[in-house]
Chain A
Amino acid sequence: MTTAKDKYQKVAYYPGCALEGTAHSYNRSTQEVGKALGLDLVEVKNWNCCGAMEVKNIDPKLQTYLSSRVMAIAATEMKMDVVMAPCNGCYHNLKKAEYDLAHDPTSVEVVDRLSQKAGHATYEAGQVETIHALDWIMHGIGEDGLKQRLKGSLQGLKVANYYGCMYTRPRHIFPEKDKGPGTESTSKPHYMDDLLGAAGAVNVEFPLKTACCGGAHTLSDSDMSTKLVLNILRAAEAAGAEVIATECPTCHSGLEMHQVRAEKKFGQPTKVKILYFTQLLGLALGLSPRQVGVHENISDSLGFLREKGIA
């Protein structure tokens, strides 16, 4: 039987639109961390948008189709068993499409019809397993494996781990979660805590791990998003965090953008730094700040990381 450890050594990599734009540093740090850990990433050929929240709002079945096309290419053209998506939105949508195609005949019919017309293989539920970057490192390497490969340490850096909405909700599209010890929890996720803890960080008790940053309306209802983000930033600071670690490009850019907006528009400054968890892991693995794209973040943490002796 192949274990997750073997299965995750070489996976299809689905970066998604955001990682080619504003979340370039997440893309870069994910790939660099993969190299440092000896995990292979093969980018999904000619991928398309997963449909995101926006297409889902126009028509959920179209989102199912768009996500299914990505999985179909990974399964049939690339013969891969696992698709890894670091973006919570992409990850969520692929999982949702997987669930719908396993349970809803209408979704199967629509995907089949659209795939045939578009001229590519139809995705069938179960052909690939979709995982998040957190699953990839947690099960492909594990905490102990990570400790063995560390070249530095996060030196007791106080971190609030922020998971956002799409990684855990709704529960039914994540059948592998909430299965007891070793599995991820949807009410109190801990993979990021575990990994960063293994890399030397101190995880603060952060009550808003799965709170919403208002990412869906970050531009269309900005005041709402700013309020929601400010709650998160303040709760992290109140918990004693120096850094908020993120695992989603929408959350990350939302936190960065509304931190600036809260300061400039509402006179509510906050100091907490915002970094992708892969950037923090990369630094602990001995990569340079530039290699993990610290300079590409809006939240300026370079000086702080140097002061701490982490960068």
Chain B
Amino acid sequence: MPIHEQSLIRPENLTTHDQLVVDGVDVSGHWSTFIQSRVVTDYNEAMQDEIAALPGGENVHRCWQCGSCTNSCTVNAINPEFNPRHWIYLVRIGMESEILRDKDIIWQCVSCNKCTYACPRDVVPEGVMKALSHWLELKGHVKPSPSMVFDEVFSEQVFQHGKIEEGRVMQRFFKRTGQSLNQPWLIEMMRRMLRHLPVGMLTKLGLATLVAPRTSGWSGARAAIEEYVHEQEHKRRRALGLDALIEAAKRDAGPVTAGEGARS
């Protein structure tokens, strides 16, 4: 059975009758389980192009479904539901609704690059996983994942100062994701970390969390990066048709929006 047909044998798509005779043949019971017929009409025909427009997804069209990615996958070994080959297939045929079933685990790719190492077609499955995670967020299917929040907290500091300080990143990440720093394992780790450290070193570490380390003369780079980030955001929104969606939503909102438009 092709991988995309696994949806056909989900319990909700199977029917078994206790008592059924069709054309004189008794088809009752488990041995005569029926797969319900289905017609798929909700393909997103632009799906592959949308993923290819996001960084990392450029080569998704090259996949020939050998399965090397899933076979080598670190996360798949822990959670068999995590299946890059399957998702790449769904992207290629545009079965958005099927992908959405896994929307809460796709971000869990750990970027170990085993898939990219194994892939004979240079699909860069690791990049496709990142593109797919971005796509889910941009399209509003999921809230930003903890991983995305971490990337943002980290990158903000790099863009701002040129470098990061790990303590700060950690504090801000815990704050933004609403987690407490007061966790037994974390406290134990800090205790072990501080056990042998001299006082001078502790002061230095403490200061680093207050005064951010920075690359001097960074302002030029910061401006260049900010401009680039802005430009890329715009490009991605356009590729996914997000601005058009918002415009359409505004039009649907009716006379209030139109009235405002007329006044301005």
Check A57/B117 contact, CB under 8 A, given A118-B221, A220-B173, A257-B189.
Answer: no
* B contact residues around A217 at 8 Å (CB): 108, 110, 146-147, 150
A306 is an interface residue with CB less than 8 A from chain B: no
A57 touches B151 (CB 8 A): yes
Please, which residue of chain B has its CB at the minimum distance from the CB of A260?
A: B189
Check A170/B113 contact, CB under 8 A, given A17-B166, A48-B162, A296-B201.
Answer: yes
B184 touches A62 (CB 8 A): no
A114 touches B112 (CB 8 A): no
B147 touches A221 (CB 8 A): yes
Contact of B166 among A18, A58, A62, A295 (CB under 8 A): A18
Please, which residue of chain A has its CB at the minimum distance from the CB of B150?
A: A220
B185 is an interface residue with CB less than 8 A from chain A: yes
A58 touches B151 (CB 8 A): yes
Q: What secondary structure prevails in chain B residues at the interface with A?
A: helix
A contact residues, total (Cβ < 8 Å): 65
Whole-angstrom distance between the Cβ of A263 and the nearest chain B Cβ? 8
* A contact residues around B158 at 8 Å (CB): 48-49, 51-52, 54-55, 66
A20 touches B110 (CB 8 A): no
A264 touches B221 (CB 8 A): no
Whole-angstrom distance between the Cβ of B172 and the nearest chain A Cβ? 11
Tell me, in angstroms, the Cα distance from A47 to B221 when the chains sit together: 12
A214 is an interface residue with CB less than 8 A from chain B: yes
Q: Which of the segments B37-45, B59-67, B94-102, B227-235 contacts the partner chain?
A: B227-235
Whole-angstrom distance between the Cβ of B264 and the nearest chain A Cβ? 33
Q: What secondary structure prevails in chain A residues at the interface with B?
A: helix
* A contact residues around B108 at 8 Å (CB): 217, 221, 224
* B contact residues around A264 at 8 Å (CB): 184-185, 188
Tell me, in angstroms, the Cα distance from A66 to B229 when the chains sit together: 13
Check A265/B229 contact, CB under 8 A, given A53-B111, A57-B130.
Answer: no
Tell me, in angstroms, the Cα distance from A295 to B148 when the chains sit together: 34
Contact of B227 among A17, A52, A117, A228 (CB under 8 A): A117
B114 is an interface residue with CB less than 8 A from chain A: yes
B225 is an interface residue with CB less than 8 A from chain A: yes
B47 is an interface residue with CB less than 8 A from chain A: no
Whole-angstrom distance between the Cβ of B240 and the nearest chain A Cβ? 15
Q: Which of the segments B5-13, B190-198, B252-260 contacts the partner chain?
A: B190-198
Check A17/B164 contact, CB under 8 A, given A219-B150, A296-B201.
Answer: yes
Whole-angstrom distance between the Cβ of B142 and the nearest chain A Cβ? 14
B147 touches A17 (CB 8 A): no
Tell me, in angstroms, the Cα distance from A286 to B147 when the chains sit together: 42
Sample of 19 A–B contacts (CB below 8 Å): A17-B164, A17-B165, A46-B215, A46-B217, A54-B150, A55-B155, A57-B130, A57-B151, A60-B56, A113-B224, A169-B114, A170-B113, A220-B177, A224-B108, A228-B78, A261-B189, A264-B188, A295-B197, A298-B193
